[in-house]
Structures are given as C-alpha cells and as structure tokens.
Structure 1
Amino acid sequence: MRIEVEETSGAARAGKLYTPHGAVETPTFMPVGTKASVKGLTPREVRETGAGVVLGNTYHLYLRPGPDLIREAGGLHSFSGWDGPMLTDSGGYQVFSLADTRKLTEDGAEFVSVYDGSRHVFTPELTTRVQEDLGADVAMVLDECPPADAGYEYQAESLRRTARWAERCQEAHTREDQALFGIVQGGLYEDLRRESLERTVSLDFPGYAVGGLSVGESREEMLRVVALTAAGLPEDKPRYFMGIGDPVGVLGVISLGVDMFDCVLPTRLARHGSVLTADGRLNLKNSRFRRDLGPLETGCACEACRDYSQAYLAHLVRENELLGHRLLTLHNLTFMGELCRRAREEIRAGSFESWSRGWISRYLAGAPA
C-alpha cells in the first residue's frame, strides 16, 4: 500500500493509491457497501460510476453472515464479486452511532446486536482478526468516535484510549497484504488533535484517517480541524476522511490535502428520492418534476440521465418502485465520481482553488427542492 502524489494545487493532492487489487486515482470518493453490497447495485454498475474503492462494515459483517463464512469464500472480494480495492472499518463508528446500547471499557466496546439482542465485545484484537478474515486491502484500527459536543476531559480520555487500542491493533495485525490505518481523534480541541497526531503518527502506520468529525460540528469547525490534522500527517502516506459525502464538504477536504473519503449520503439520498446535481440537490417528490420530460442533468453519462426523463423518475419515486432507487443511486454515485475526476483534473492543471470556488457557488445557488 502506497500513495504516489503526482501533482498539487495549494494543499490539494492528485495521484494514485496502489493496493493489492489495483491502483486508484486520488482524490477518490468511496461508496459504502455496509453489508458487502452497495445498496441496489451490482459491482459492475458500481465500477461504471467511477468508483475505485468500496467499503464494508466490520460490525455488520461480523454479526451476519460472519467472518468465518467470508474467509471460507475467499474473502470479501470473492464473496461480494467486487474485484477492486476494498476498505473495512473497525466498528468504531458503531461506538458512536449505537452509544445508547454499548458499554466502553479499556478492553473494548460491548455491543448489543441490532439483529437479535445478543451481546458482543469488540476488542482491538477481535476487530483486527475479523478484518484479516474479511481480507480488505485497508483495515482500520478500533477507535472511539465521540460526539461533537463531548467535553474536553472526555475527548482527552477518549483519544488516549484510542491510541492504546491502536497499539494493540498493530500488535495483533499479521497480514502483509493488508494495510492497517491509524485514526487521529481529539474532537475540536487543537491541543488534543496535536497530541493524537503525535501518538498516532509515531506508530508509523501505512495510512491515516481523520476521525471524530461529521458528527454534529459546523462546517467551519470541521474544516479548521481537518486543516490542522492533514498538515501534521506524513506527505507520503494516504489521508482518509471518515464519513463525508456532501459535495461542498468533499471539495473542502480535498482542498486541505485529503485523498480518500466515504459516506452513505449519496446512496441514502437516492433511496429517499433526492439527487445531486451541479445546480444543487433536487427532491423528485416535488410536484414540479411530475411533467418534466427533460433529463435529471444534461451531460451526465449515467443511465438515469441518458435513458429516462425526470417525469418518469419522479413517478418511480412516488410509487416507491425499486427501479427508481437503483437509477437515482447510479446517478448520485456517478455524480460523486465525476466530481472527483474533475477535481483531479483541476489539481493537475493548477487551478483547483478557483474552479472549486466557482463550482461551490453554482451548487449553493441552486435552491434545494
């Protein structure tokens, strides 16, 4: 696992991430396939959106169908039919999202299964072993992702626990064909971020993630912390922002030197009838789309824009037809893939900052409907 930064424009970087399952151009948006599937799409369709990396969720795959079966099938690539690079999280996000039903100790995180109520303890050693069984190209250390409003003392205790867990994950990790990424925490506090940076970078991971953001803070606070964190990460290692998928935020973190990012937002919006366009977000449940026979977005190469009208897609959405969910998912992921492709192009041309400002201005001017 290595990244080759080919061009920069300000702090923004364009290059290639090399993995055992091929090279990926960066910056890159990574669709989330929580249960070994990007909802509604085949691997071939996901590839056609321009996606290079797909995510899997360790928590859910551990519970169902279980890592033993996936290992027996030859790993997550063989099991799911995706032959490109993959990344698995560690269950750290569930420490945040399932806070009401989990218990944290120095040993790990005890969860109540969302499926059957059974209890499971995720230790650094267990999550590392499970991710080795899943066989993704990138695995993540177990961390705690506190909410944005967590106080200073809690954030300090949390980042130090995450640092100790990272050491244990590193000691437990044995696969040479899998890169284990460290995660920088510390909330919105600059001194804690710097402490987490120092402790995490000292472990010399092959890649690093910016964690603990997109959890309720303002965009201004988020970008401030990303700028501080990215500036403290090694230039020759990949940088991953965990959990961002709105187009304006994506361009913001690219401008600060982030290479990889993921989020369920584009696919979740599609399932609720919303699409991303260069002129803002559109809600096809709005009555103004009922008789519009034009495409969602002129010039978009996805199947939804190429072959169907807004009126037909709006009809599918109103009737809750599965085809509507699929087509809008194809569009939103194609939109994110094209956004990243254009960002790479502008970085290589040295014009990313001015292009990004213009793109964001147009996007925000299009009133969401």
Structure 2
Amino acid sequence: MTVGYELISKDGAARRGRLTTAHGTIETPAFMPVGTAATVKCMLPDSVKATGAEILLGNTYHLMLRPGAERVEKLGGLHRFMNWSGPILTDSGGFQVMSLSKLRKISEQGVTFQSHVDGKSHELTPESSMKIQHQLDSNITMCFDECTPFPVEKKDAAESMRLSMRWAQRSRDAFVDRDGYGLFGIVQGSVFEDLRHESIEALTKIGFDGYAVGGLAVGEGQEAMFSTLDFTTPSMPEDKPRYLMGVGKPDDLVGAVERGIDMFDCVLPTRCGRTGQAFTRRGTVNIRNARHAEDPRPLDPGCACPCCRDYSRAYLHHLFKTGEVLGLMLLTWHNLAYFQEVMAGLRSAIEGGRLKEHAAAFRTEQALGDIEPL
C-alpha cells in the first residue's frame, strides 16, 4: 500500500495535510462530492473540478449492479469511464447493504442480498468487495464492514464491530498492493468509547493507509457524533489520514475538523441542490419560497460560482417553480462550490494558527440567517 500522507501543520486537534495517489494529490481537510453511480448528479466532471474538488467518491454496491465491475474494467476503469482524471475513493458497499435490512442476510462469510434493481440475489464478502474495487481502479479502497445502525444495544454493537474487524483483516489480505493505491480501515463501535478504542487497536495492528470513522451520521445527532469523535480521533494514528464517512452539513464539517478529521463525503450538497435548498454563508435558503420571486439579488453575494455570479434569486425561484433542470444544476454547483470554500477556509485557518477565530466567525455568520427580504 503506497498512498502517501504528509501532515503539514496542526492547530489544536485540527490537521492540515496532503494525500498523494496515483491520480493526483488531495489537500486536506477535504470534502469529496458523491458520485455514487459514476456521476455527480447534475454536474459535468469539469464543473465538479471547477468547484475545487480534488477527489470523488464512487460506490461498490451500486456499480457492481449497474453497469457491473467487469464492464467498467473492460472500458478502462472508473476514471476513464466517467471522465474524471483525479483520485477516486470507493465505499465498500457496507452502508448500502445495511440499508437493505429486509433484503439481506449477514454471516461470517459476508452478506447475501437481493438487488433493489431487479431482485436478483448477490453476495458481497471482504474478498469480493476488494476485487470489485480493484476492477473499478479505485485509488482509495474501503474495507468491507458492517455499518452498525443506531440506536443499538452495546452487546450488538460489540458483535458488529468485531465482525467488521475480522472482515478488515480479510480485506487487507485480499487487497492488491500497487503504487499510488491504498486501503482504509473503518473504525466501528457506535457511541461506546471502549468499543471504539478496541476497534482502533485491531485496525492499527493490521495496518492501513488511512482510518475512517464509520457508524456515525446514522441518526445519533450532532452532539453524540461530536462526543464520539472527542474520544475516538485522539487514539487514531497521527501519521495517517482520518475520514469521517457520510458527513455532513457545513457546521458538522467545521466541528469535525476541530476534532481532528481530514476527509469527508456527503450527498447533502447535491441532494439538497436538486430540491431547492442552498447552503450559504448565512445558513440555508429554500429558493422555492415566494419571498424570492422578485428578488434581483444573488443567492450568496460573497460567492463567485456561476449560480451566484450570473443569476438572480428571482430566476432561480422561477426555474424551480417551472421544473426546469437548469435550476437543479445551478444550485448543485453552488452547494458544491460552497462546501469546497468551507474546506479551503479551514485549511488556511489551520495553517495560520487561527482556527478558533475562524470557526467562531463561521458560526456567527451562520446564525445570522438569510438576508432580509426586499
């Protein structure tokens, strides 16, 4: 495993780093737009790159079903298939399988499940997940794990975590080492401190290129998520990147960076963009609201993205009211650009030793709420 990580500077628990892969470098803290089925919805790859994104996320579960890992491999791998030359991280499929609770069966070997597409039966194991992610040509492969649901009894969380640790060893054994590619382990244990520490110990004994925190953002709430990070990240390896899976809103990102997280992914900026919700410096804006119908001002005056630079709130409101696809595209672009701006601001603040002040200013501006109606 040869993905490189350089820790450049720290400010408290927060870290400024650089991750190097065969397909390019990622400046951290970093946010990864989600391209589940080999596309970031409503965006061209060049548009995604223009927002500042350096790495995308794809998904093993969805891509193994459609179009199939063998086909992607035959067509030159995921980078060529989706026309994205930068790094790609692939989720192992564990989270998606967890969501199929009525359609799957878990055993020591792996998970058998019915496809949500056509009902056919499939099996995912640590070995097959590693093979599929290899066929996709993923730069960062994730271990196959069971994403523990919430709420959960401690006994069940312990059993789930220990199964994931056994699967982590099998994932490592099946992973094919090559230059510029790496494998991340996933820390489980729900909200239980001793289980999280047990998981970290097991994973570091195996040895990975990076370590993710899984099993959060599954309904526990921000307070519980942050308290779990408070006792989890200090025990994670200092010289490896730390990835919080499936998180989150802008204030989640800031709080998690303050607690030592380096990488994030979440569907929120794209999903919300398609439903008319925009993330801005002054909180969220629902562009469908009637107050925007005659507003000539930009969505976010401080944003330089095409949505804010070239179009008014009134026009965006019109696009959503008439069901025009351009509205979805513009708000998705803005949300992704804003998330990248949040990350760039955090990187700069950490480097300058002023993260505390930066985070306080961020929260103050968010609390102001949207600009007053005309």
The interval holding the TM-score normalised by the smaller chain is: over 0.9
Q: Which moved more, 1:142-151 or 1:27-36?
A: 142-151
Offset from partner CA, 1:275-314 (integer Å, 9 cap, x none): 0001000001111011101100112111100110000011
Give the 3-state SS of the residue equivalent to 2:295 in structure 1. Answer: coil
Aligned to 1:146: 148
Whether 1:345 aligns to 2:355 is no
Matches within 5 A, 1:1-369: 1-177=3-179, 178-366=181-369
1:194 corresponds to which letter in structure 2?
H
| 8 Å Cα contact 1:283/1:368 also seen in 2 | no
1:299 corresponds to which letter in structure 2?
G
2: distance between equivalents of 1:7 and 1:124?
A: 35
2: distance between equivalents of 1:325 and 1:207?
A: 34
| 8 Å Cα contact 2:148/2:161 also seen in 1 | no
1: distance between equivalents of 2:307 and 2:99?
A: 33
1: distance between equivalents of 2:313 and 2:128?
A: 48
Offset from partner CA, 1:70-116 (integer Å, 9 cap, x none): 11111100111000010001001113222222111111111111110
2:25 corresponds to which letter in structure 1?
A
Q: Which moved more, 1:263-272 or 1:141-150?
A: 141-150
Give the 3-state SS of the residue equivalent to 1:4 in structure 2. Answer: strand
2: distance between equivalents of 1:86 and 1:202?
A: 26
Give the 3-state SS of the residue equivalent to 1:99 in structure 2. Answer: coil
Aligned-residue offset at 1:257: 1.0
1: distance between equivalents of 2:211 and 2:371?
A: 34
Offset from partner CA, 1:171-200 (integer Å, 9 cap, x none): 111141320100000000111111111111
Give the 3-state SS of the residue equivalent to 1:323 in structure 2. Answer: helix
2: distance between equivalents of 1:142 and 1:55?
A: 15
Structure 2 stretches of 5 or more lacking a match?
A: none
Aligned-residue offset at 1:148: 1.7
2: distance between equivalents of 1:353 and 1:120?
A: 48
Aligned-residue offset at 1:368: 11
Q: Which moved more, 1:86-95 or 1:358-367?
A: 358-367
2: distance between equivalents of 1:93 and 1:365?
A: 35
TM-score normalised per structure 2: 0.97
1: distance between equivalents of 2:118 and 2:351?
A: 50
| 8 Å Cα contact 2:35/2:41 also seen in 1 | yes
Q: Structure 1 segments of 4 or more deviating over 6 A?
A: none
1: distance between equivalents of 2:69 and 2:113?
A: 17
| 8 Å Cα contact 1:275/1:282 also seen in 2 | yes
| 8 Å Cα contact 1:282/1:368 also seen in 2 | no
1: distance between equivalents of 2:24 and 2:357?
A: 32
Give the 3-state SS of the residue equivalent to 2:102 in structure 1. Answer: helix
| 8 Å Cα contact 1:159/1:185 also seen in 2 | yes
2: distance between equivalents of 1:86 and 1:54?
A: 5
Structure 1 stretches of 5 or more lacking a match?
A: none
Equivalences, count: 369
Offset from partner CA, 1:223-246 (integer Å, 9 cap, x none): 111122211111111110000020
Identity of aligned residues (%): 47
2: distance between equivalents of 1:187 and 1:368?
A: 39
1: distance between equivalents of 2:11 and 2:82?
A: 37
2: distance between equivalents of 1:84 and 1:207?
A: 18
